[in-house]
Amino acid sequence: MSRTKEETLKILLRHQQHYISGQALCEQLGCSRTAIWKQINELRKEGYTIDSVQKKGYKLLAKPNKLIKEEIDLHLTTDTFGRHLIYYEEVPSTQKLAHHLAEDGAAEGTLVVADEQTDGRGRLGRAWHSPKGTGIWMSCILRPTLSLERIPQLTLIAAVSIVRAIKKISGVQCGIKWPNDILFNGKKLVGILTELQAEIESVRAVIIGMGINVNVDADAIPEALKPIATSLKMISGVRQSREQLIAAIMSEFEGLYHMYLEEGFSIIKQMWEAHALNIGQHIHARLANGDVIHGIAQGINDKGVLLLQDDQGETHHIYSADINL
Ligand code: BTN
């Protein structure tokens, strides 16, 4: 989108409640009325419904059903997270793209967002259903100077950030299933995929992928996922602004990440525990090698590792697993 069109759209988005005169647009954008008219028509072609009334000016009446980068920008309150925003209407996977960008030196806080993923990836090599126009599919690049063993803590920070942002924007209070699934009434609302680019001892980049079912309707959820997946719209009964939610997540994530780097993991641990599901419950942990450990989830330790006491009383340190009741 050209710079003038982007700025025109931002002004219209800011003034959604009333008309803005052509004169005011010209002054703010430093261009002619003809140029404004051209941008308005371009935006109309892209699916924006813009009313124009003589002597009153222009008013945005409706937006196309796609994520609007300019609207995310308007809501952002961060210093760096999300400020370098790369947006695609369709992409195979934001995660893959973020990996390439990180290899090419993209800065910390760079965010790749897509309205649709055609090859979304989940944990353990699973596919991630990422339909058009309904979810948040995004990957954030971090460049922490942390030892490798502390990286899993970043997943927990992301989970707490998302839970807090969802509560702030929609009022919905969800919980976290270790390490990083966000659930409501036992159904999955959010998945987080943390991946690493590292040398033998040091971290080059961490890519945090977040998949959030925001406005997905019940009938659009694939049959196989219906018993286990939900969306914010299904829970709250209303469409939620994906743009506001992305901005709120970036704000929470940036704040908690810096607090963690400065003060360590203990406050994050408390926050995570306050939202944790399954602690004190009998669970099954399926490890990557296929082994299953049954026992009581005791909590997480200071590194974010799950402590699971098996039926013989032995405590296992679980670094990665699929957890089921
Ligand atoms: C999980 O298995 O629970 C993690 C799912 C992570 C999905 C997100 S959507 C944005 C990013 N791009 C991907 O391909 N995957 C992650």
Q: Check which CATH number belongs to the domain holding 106 and give it.
A: 3.30.930.10
Specify whether 97 is located in the same domain as 238: yes
ipTM associated with this complex: 0.99
Q: Burial letters for 170-209: b for 16+ Cβ neighbours within 10 Å, e otherwise?
A: beeebbbbbbbbbbbeebbbbbbbbbeeeeeeebebbbbb
Q: Are residues 82 and 155 in the same domain?
A: yes
Q: Do residues 172 and 253 share a domain?
A: yes
Residues 312 and 296 in one domain: yes
Q: Which atom belonging to ligand 1 lies closest to the Cα atom of 114?
A: 10
Are 56 and 81 part of one and the same domain? no
Per-residue confidence (pLDDT) for residue 165, from 0 to 100? 98
pLDDT at 115: 97
| 53 and 73 part of one domain | no
The pLDDT value recorded for residue 320 is 87
- Rg of the chain taking only CA atoms, in angstroms: 22
Query: What is the reported pLDDT for 259?
Result: 98
Would you state the pLDDT for residue 180? Answer: 85
Q: Is 143 annotated as a binding residue?
A: no
Q: What percent of the chain has pLDDT over 70?
A: 100
Query: Is 188 annotated as contributing to ligand binding?
Result: yes
Residues 250 and 296 in one domain: no
Q: Verify that 148 and 218 share a domain, yes or no.
A: yes
Query: What is residue 161's predicted lDDT score, i.e. its pLDDT?
Result: 98
Q: Is 225 in the pocket of ligand 1 (CB under 6 A)?
A: no
Strand partners, 296: 282, 309
- Helix axis angle for 33-45 and 22-29, nearest 10°, is 100
Q: Is 122 annotated among the ligand-binding residues?
A: yes
User: Residue 288: what pLDDT?
Assistant: 85
Evaluate: CB of 127 within 6 angstroms of ligand 1. no
Q: Do 8 and 129 fall within a single domain?
A: no
Give me 92's structure tokens: 């195979």
Which residue has the CA at smallest separation from atom 2 of ligand 1?
122
Residues with pLDDT less than 70, the chain: none
Spatial neighbors of 261 by CB under 8 A, at least 6 apart, are 144
Whether residues 144 and 215 share a domain: the answer is yes
280 is in an annotated binding site: no
How many domains are there within the chain?
A: 3
**What is the residue type of 225?**
L
Q: Containing domain of residue 306, as a range?
A: 282-324
CATH number of the domain bearing residue 33: 1.10.10.10
Ligand 1 pocket, residue 176 CB under 6 Å? no
- Ligand 1 contact via 123 beta carbon (within 6 Å): yes
119 lies in the same domain as 57: no
Do 113 and 251 lie in one domain? The reply is yes
* Distance, first Cα to last Cα, the chain: 48
- CATH number, position 316: 2.30.30.100
